[in-house]
A and B are shown apart, each in its own frame.
Chain A
């Protein structure tokens, strides 16, 4: 179990800037994930969480550094890594069954039609949509659509499951239901998973590790928090655990600290070191730039 399955080393994402200087969103991100581990990624909006996740999915080009999955460096998307997007992204002209079948044909080229059908039906049943297979997306609620999205991902029999704010658009009840569905599947299939979320409770409840990212540009890992709870987890038990509030408070304070910062890169110390010869040198006390909120850090 405790074996490195995903290794992200020195990951950089730089979007080309039309005026020369590249816009470096993520700078030198290092992260290892063990097989079967559930990691959440939290951070402020625009810090580059989706960027990291899409790079891992292979949808976004890697500027520098590398990602190794199962001892192979990744190059583009692959069937070993399935993605669930924030929007369900179902094809509106296909029913639930066909939407799931879409990828199955490519991943199991040698399967008979009957086998493929069984795979699709199993996946849909797994997310609780046994009776809605022939329904079109517009006939399904948002939660049901997201379930189809999950079914489509797990039908590929992936090793890694990547979730980008998968429940962002759902009400809290549906959200909890789907969290359980995902945890169930992940446990059963021993999937290594990464979830991007804004919901602190969700991060604490679901993951083994919470990665807190600093604000972009030049985002890095700010802090890592391990969560020691046995699986399977019981929601009520966990919410009643005083440790839950400790974890939660810790995450919230991390986020609050950064709520008014443009980027963590311009750390007070950094500025002091470069202060003499950089553009900010005319400012006598660089702390003024960040206002009072930053003073406690110093």
Chain B
């Protein structure tokens, strides 16, 4: 009895693994339940350990090769640098969250938060001072070390320089003497030419020597030991945190929404008392205007939003929303059209030219077309009711800061993702088993029950296969479209990083590359799971 229960759990887990498509985890689970340990260990070795080793090998190769290639934007980042970039990006996002929270806090909470942040600031300050001291000490030590290394070089340089100067003066004097002799016809002119060439070569050699020493010295100066850099970096990091704390405090106090509102209300009240006390007409008018403008400002304060800076996390969320919206639009167009194509040869014949012509069109062209077309609908996007509604502070979707750019990116995704779904749906519907249609005829099913009970269910596996390709295409197209059109999202993140070219940029681009890849992978998995849900063989047991 106990055995069958364990078996149930085991096969449950295996089923989940199977459906989600992570077959690699099958042997370890079986091993855990003690099924044919030898075979499982063999399989784990083959299908888990070897691939992991291979990936580790690739990462190692990357670590070794990356620093050897110098580019305009610095060295190719190593995996560690990309990892750090990832952590920094996450922290950046967190900081935005903290500031946003600070901006909206009010009442007791705000005061509590201020206290907390101040305590934290004090801690950070102490830490910073410590680190700063360490940094200073290390750099002083390093400087002493450097000076020690530099001193002999400097000495050599000075000596050589003096020596060369002397030699050069001597050669110059010799040349003057020789030229005098040539003028007096006491020496051959060819000798003079030879002497000049000789002089030039010697001078060049001497200059070269001096330059070599200088370069060696510069090298030592510009490459302070690693510890100095690290200490400096650690101190800078804390300094950044302190800076962030200050910003946070300012959002908790003067920059705080409730505070701002309160200040406007107070101003309006002041003006009101001044208005009551006013003696001249001019003064009264001025105060009355103050009352009006401040009351208005106080009323409008609620609509204010925290001006969020775009982090990679936010960009990822936005890209995901855009691709899903685009994908849904595409699917909503493609599936009905595909069904009609599959059902009716005339519709198919009508749509074939359109499909054949528009399918190969590059996403870039669609992007530009939609940019123009969508742009025309929203001459003044800030005031357009759709965006006012979507971005109003009470709407949870305002986080995504919807704008026309998002709409035309989504349209581009829809346009490009349309085709695989359409073609597959048409194929699925038209390749329905004629026996099933005969059954429908014998049972005298009407058009709609034939469509929904027989045609659609039987074509669903192919429809989902098409949707899976569509989503993959859509995700790829979206990143390119965002990069090209500066529509917020991962594509824009990559493009911005490429443009601003700071020391972190390259690492950030590679980070984004991994984020895009991993998300693409999970979207694909999701579609595989959905596909397996609708395929008839799975439908019962899930």
Contact across chains for A91 and B444 when beta carbons are under 8 A apart: no
In Å, the complex CA distance between A89 and B439 comes to: 7
CB distance from B428 to the nearest CB of A (A): 13
Do B445 and A138 touch across chains, with their CB atoms under 8 A apart? no
B536 touches A92 (CB 8 A): yes
Whether B444 and A82, one on each chain, are in contact in the complex, defined by CB atoms closer than 8 angstroms, is: no
Residue of B whose beta carbon sits closest to that of A158: B442
Task: Please tell me if the beta carbons of B453 and A91 are within 8 angstroms of each other in the complex.
Answer: yes
Contact A82 B442 (CB under 8 A): yes
Q: Out of B446, B458, B540, name the residue touching A136 (CB < 8 Å).
A: B540
Which of B435, B443, B444 gathers most chain A CB within 10 Å?
A: B443
Residues on the B chain within 8 Å of A79, using CB = 444
Per-position 1/0 for A77-108, Cβ under 8 A of B = 11101110101010111110000001101110
Q: Decide if B444 touches A93 in the complex (CB within 8 Å).
A: no
- B residues near A103, Cβ cutoff 8 Å: 442-445
Sample of 28 A–B contacts (CB below 8 Å):
A76-B441, A77-B442, A82-B442, A85-B435, A87-B435, A89-B433, A89-B435, A89-B436, A89-B438, A89-B439, A91-B458, A92-B536, A93-B458, A93-B536, A94-B457, A95-B540, A102-B439, A103-B442, A105-B449, A106-B443, A106-B444, A106-B446, A106-B449, A107-B443, A107-B444, A136-B539, A136-B540, A152-B443
Instruction: Determine the chain A residues whose CB is within 8 A of the CB of B439 once the complex forms.
Output: 85, 89, 91, 102
Q: Does A156 contact B (CB under 8 A)?
A: yes
**Which residues of B approach A to under 8 Å, CB–CB?**
433, 435-436, 438-439, 441-446, 449, 453-454, 457-458, 460, 536-537, 539-540
A105-B449, A136-B540, A138-B537 known; 15 other A-B pairs, CB under 8 Å?
A57-B442, A77-B441, A77-B442, A85-B439, A87-B435, A92-B537, A93-B458, A93-B536, A102-B453, A103-B444, A106-B443, A106-B446, A106-B449, A107-B443, A156-B443
Residues in B whose Cβ lies below 8 Å from that of A89: 433, 435-436, 438-439
Among A81, A87, A89, A106, max chain B CB count under 10 A is at: A89
Determine the chain A residues whose CB is within 8 A of the CB of B540 once the complex forms.
95, 136, 139
| In the assembled complex, A59 has its CB within 8 A of some CB on chain B | yes
Q: Is there an interface contact between A83 and B536, defined as CB atoms closer than 8 Å?
A: no
Query: Nearest chain-A residue to B443 (Cβ)?
Result: A103
In the bound assembly, the distance between CA atoms of A76 and B442 in angstroms comes to 9
> In the complex, what distance in Å separates the CA atom of A107 from the CA atom of B460?
27
Q: What residues of chain A lie closer than 8 Å to B433, measured between beta carbons?
A: 89
For B438, give its contact among A78, A85, A93, A152 (CB under 8 Å): A85
Q: Whole-angstrom distance from the CB of A159 to the nearest CB of chain B?
A: 14
Q: Do A102 and B445 form a contact, CB below 8 Å, given A85-B435, A93-B457, A93-B458?
A: yes
Closest to A162 in B: B442
Q: Which residues of A contact B445 (CB under 8 A)?
A: 102-103, 106
A78 near B453 with CB under 8 A, answer no
A58 to B457, CA, bound (A): 25
Min CB gap B425→A, angstroms: 17
Contacting B at CB under 8 A, from A154-175, are 156
Contact B454 A91 (CB under 8 A): yes
B444 contact set on A, CB distance < 8 A: 77-79, 103, 106-107
- Interface residues in A140-195 by Cβ distance below 8 A to B read 152, 156
What residues on A are CB-neighbors of B457 within 8 Å?
A: 91, 93-94
Collect the chain B residues with CB atoms within 8 Å of residue A59's CB.
438, 441-442
The distance from the CB of A53 to the nearest CB of chain B, in whole angstroms, is 12
Please give, as numbers and ranges, the residues of chain A lying within 8 Å of B458 by CB-CB distance. Answer: 91, 93
Give the docked Cα–Cα distance between A283 and B454 (Å): 56
CA distance A239 to B433 in the complex (A): 40
Residue on B with the closest CB to A90? B439
* A83/B539 in contact, CB under 8 A: no
| 7 closest A-B pairs by CB | A103-B443, A92-B536, A93-B457, A89-B435, A93-B536, A136-B540, A83-B442
- In the complex, how many angstroms separate the beta carbon of A105 from the nearest chain B beta carbon? 7
On chain B, the residues within 8 Å of A83 by CB distance are 438, 442
Q: How far is the CA of A80 from the CA of B435 in the complex (A)?
A: 20
| Chain A 101-134 interface residues, beta-carbon cutoff 8 Å to B | 102-103, 105-107
